[in-house]
Amino acid sequence: MYRIVISVLLAAAASFAQIPTELVSEDFISAPQASTRSELDQYTLVSVNSSDELEDLLSNGYPTPELQAVLENESIPQEDRYWLDCRMRSAIAQLLHRFYDEQGNPVEIEADWIRPGEGYWQETMMVNPVGEPTEISPDGPSFHFLVDSGFLCNLYGEEIGQLAAANDFARTSRDGSLTVVQTGRRGRGGGGEMNFCFMYPDGSFSEIEFQDQEILSDRNMTISQDGSISAWNIFTRLRKLSCRMGHSHYTGLVLQLPYGN
């Protein structure tokens, strides 16, 4: 179950958090120096256990009256209200494959999955269309498994770009102008190739091969919000050359850190 919680500071500022309640232990005690529990009053705005309950909640459209009241509350910083709206729209898109346009009309999209490409604002959604690919495309990124092409949507259900590969490990910049994913045709034991793959909204892509035959693939990666730099976590079979790398698709390798830094 996911619960949207409004945490209001006594000083009249406000912040929002989306908390998976099953991860919070009932006997959890915050460290004294980090605790703000005594300074906050928490109000549960939305709580649903299933997609059916979410459907019922949205029976009269989006936003719900409770959420609308918060989004129009000017005592709450505008950035926080916008963040909450983004996260709610993202959650609905992921669970129901439904968006709401700027007039509040529902926009249904048939998809195998819909996921945010960027983790904080979640303004850009990756869409994997319905249907399974039947063969590896020789013209697409070099995966060793079947991957469909897909597309990007904004939070109003408007298509804003293409994805050469709809891979759930991919990450996008905030506006979707750049998507990164690890590619390469290699077995579980290593060997073969590993690539940094950069995908663009026009459906094109570029791949840069990492030159180390001892490398083992690792799908942990991220990208800056403006798309200027990406970070990749990679390691070798013996971890002797393990490192984290920062890579700009404009200028190439910009940093390399030993594993664990």
How does pLDDT run across 168-210, given as a tens digit for each residue?
Answer: 889 999 999 999 888 876 545 455 577 888 899 999 998 887 7
pLDDT at 26: 45
Q: What is the pTM of this model?
A: 0.74
pLDDT at 4: 47
Instruction: Pick the more confident residue, 152 or 38.
Output: 152
Domain residue spans of the chain: 1-96, 106-261
Tokens 């529990």 belong to 37
> Mind listing the pLDDT tens digit for each residue in 61-98?
999 998 999 999 999 899 999 999 999 999 999 999 99
Cβ neighbors of 159 (< 8 A, separation 6 or more) are: 151, 152, 153
- Output phi, psi for 41, to 5 deg: -110, 130
Residue 165 has pLDDT above 90, yes or no: no
Distance from C-alpha of 206 to C-alpha of 51, rounded to nearest angstrom: 38
Instruction: Pick the more confident residue, 238 or 224.
Output: 224
Q: Which of 62-71, 77-86, 229-238, 247-256 has the weakest average pLDDT?
A: 247-256
Residue 250 has pLDDT above 80, yes or no: no
pLDDT at 6: 44
